[in-house]
Every structure is written in C-alpha cells, then in structure tokens.
Amino acid sequence: MCLAIPMRLEERDEFSGRVSLDGVSRQISLMLFPEAEVGQWLLVHAGYAISAIDEQQAEETLALLSEYAGEMMEL
C-alpha cells in the first residue's frame, strides 16, 4: 500500500500536473512535491507526487511492478 509508481511529468501549473506512463495520462497534485519539473520522473502515490526519481531507478521500479501486477495492483 505504501508503494509509489514512477510516472513522467508532462505539464504542470501551480499546484497540479499531468503525468503519463505508457500513453496513459493522469492528473496529479503537486502539493507534496512543489519543486517537480516538467520532463522529470516522479514517484506518484495515491494521486500525489511525493518525490523525483532518476530514470534508471524508475525503469527498475516499473519492471518490478509489472512483475507484481495482478497481485499488487489491487492497491
């Protein structure tokens, strides 16, 4: 449940932004990570960015998540 998912920030305004992953995009809040920059990979948890993450670590996390998918994605 504490798992956060890496997504890339496509655009932002003051408090929110649009992230995407594999062509699926989603509005998120940037209230918990206001310094987020467009183009950056972010860790997204329950609709909020909580941190930036470098691209390599994002890839590794996504590979892991796809392996856990089905069981973990109920979260």
Partner 1 sequence: MRTRDPFSDSEAVRGLAREIAREAEELEARLTIMEVCGSHTHAIARAGLRSLLPEKIRLISGPGCPVCVTPVDWLDHAIALVERGDVILSSFGDLMRVPSSRRTLEEIRSEGAPVEILYSPRDALKLARSRPEKKIVFLAVGFETTAPTIAAALVEAEAEGLENFLILPGNKTMPEPMRLIAGDPEIAVDAFLLPGHVSVITGSDAFEFLARDYGLPGIVAGFAPTDVLRAVLEIIAQGKHGEAKIVNAYGRVVTREGNQAARKILDEVFVASPARWRGLGEIPASGLDLRPELAHRNAALLPVELPEPIEPPGCRCGEVLKGMIDPPECPLFGAPCIPERPVGACMVSSEGSCAAWYRHERWRNMESGR
Q: Which residues bind partner 1 (CB under 8 A)?
A: 1-4, 29, 31-34, 43, 45-48, 50-54, 57, 59-64, 66-68, 71-72, 74-75
| Residues 29, 16 contacting (CB under 8 angstroms) | yes
Report, in Å, the least distance between residue 14 CB and partner 1.
Answer: 13
Report, in Å, the least distance between residue 25 CB and partner 1.
Answer: 14
Closest CA to 21 of 36, 3, 42: 42
- One-letter amino acid of 67: E
Q: For partner 1, which is the closer residue by CB, 38 or 64?
A: 64
Q: Which helix (H) or strand (E) holds 51?
A: strand 48-52
